[in-house]
Amino acid sequence: MQEFADSVKLEIQNSFAELKQQLIELARIPGIAWEAFDANQLELSVQAVAKLFDETQVFDNVQILRSSANGRPGAPAVVARRAAKNGKPQILLYAHHDVQPPGDRALWESEPFEVSRRSDRLYGRGAADDKAGVITHIYSLKGLKEMAESLRIGVTVFIEGEEEAGSPTFRNFLEENRELLEADVIIVADSSNWTTATPALTTTLRGLVSQVIEISTLDHALQDRKSTR
């Protein structure tokens, strides 16, 4: 076990400069799934992510897919799959490539989509949430491929494109691609650590519920009129 841990550590050290640069390049793309923003940037984002997973040479196929809801097309997602061999489990890796809008520019100390380094941290919209999750999956697979004599486990990657916009087509996407996404274990690279120096493993997620409640009222006040005799 220690020998394997040492190999992992060495692989991370050897590839760290490359993966950091890939993260910076991904974070420069303002892929925002909200309707008010340029959808072309979201397409550039999904194309860049698909290319990175294709270049790992791990998968049987890498696809860009989307679903729709309420007559509106959803944001593009990447789905890559390598089938398990000899009865080994199928692992699904999840992250998302879309990001939150930058908000008020005056609140930023640097350009939101030009990643800057301050001390030992990178700052830029989406650099952590969740472009870092995408890069984590990619370089974990690259490292596994380098260290394993043969890769027999199955790996499916699902990189969503509308998580920050509330995932309006998520359920339809899952239903339409159920067989493609079927897995024994799901690993989500979109959760938190206790601190910047203390990693954490999240075992349960509650999901998200959204509701719209409409209330109708009278258009004028009522007076209490007492009848007189």
**Long-range contacts formed by 48-57: CB under 8 A, 24+ apart:** 49/78, 49/97, 49/134, 49/159, 50/78, 50/80, 52/22, 52/134, 52/138, 53/78, 53/80, 53/138, 53/157, 53/159, 54/80, 56/138, 56/141, 56/142, 56/145, 57/145
Class of residue 97 by CB neighbours under 10 A (exposed 0-12, middle 13-18, buried 19+)? buried
Return the active site residues: 98, 163
